[in-house]
Amino acid sequence: MTTEPATNPARRPLSLGARLDCVLDFTATEPEAACCADIGCDHGRLICAMLERWTQRTGIAADISAPSLEKAKALSLRRGLSDRLVTRVGDGLQVLAPGEAGIVIICGMGGELIARLLAACETPLMGARLAVLQPMRGTEELNAWLFENGYVTERCRVVEDAGRLYEVLAVRPPQEGKRLVFPADRPEGFFGICPFAERDALFFQLVARQLAQTEKRLATAAGTPGEAVLKTKREALLKLKGEA
């Protein structure tokens, strides 16, 4: 079943901002997916916006917070989407049955937490064909986990929203038996393969910000075990900055 984006001219679309708009755009890379699960959905604006755009899809809104899910449920009622959205209280992807969702979305969490949620699945992505991930911090750690566990980062975009830069990743499940050594001493070790290959203007802004943060941390890291790691990262970032 192919799902086509659709809009309702009688209703103004939900406003998401650049960060979540990018997440929504990335769900289009799996057009055959009939069901999308938003893990950690909070108030449900993203999953409701997705259902309004792709009118043949159904959605699962999951959160560890029951009050948040009540907000998502109320929003779906106001938008006329309650017949296509189910809500589930639970931790991570454990709320899903294997193969139930074709797409899973995990946004607004730390990268290390996202990696732990993915690692806890009984099958990769609980059988989904695509995961759209948006870490608030710890992107480096998430990229390392994805890389070392064989996941394929299909797309990555740097977006600016309210003065902050965010990375949004579209990730495919691992290929069986594929385990790689993460290139921690090379620039792609800090940003993943895709943004390194596709580097655009915002990517270089991200490099500059990460370099400034690394320099700041180095100023207080002298003599600590982390000093060598920070110096390696600084050299890689300086090399990238020179390519801008």
Are the CB atoms for 136 and 109 separated by under 8 Å?
yes
Higher pLDDT, 118 or 216: 118
110 or 14, greater pLDDT: 110
> pLDDT value at position 15?
83
Q: What is the CA radius of gyration of the chain?
A: 19
Q: Count of residues for the chain?
A: 244
Q: How confident is the model at residue 14 (pLDDT cuts 50, 70, 90)?
A: confident
Pair 75, 100: CB distance under 8 Å: no
Which has more pLDDT, 181 or 159? 159
Enumerate residues 6+ apart whose C-beta is below 8 A from 148: 179, 180, 181, 182
33 phi/psi in degrees, rounded to 5: -65, 125
Q: What is the mean pLDDT of residues 141-158?
A: 86
What global pTM score does this model have?
A: 0.83
Q: Is the pLDDT reported for residue 229 higher than 90? A: no
Condensed to tens digits (0 to 9), the pLDDT of residues 205-224 reads 888 888 888 898 898 888 88
Mean pLDDT of the chain: 85
* Residue-level pLDDT at 1: 45
pLDDT at 13 over 90: no
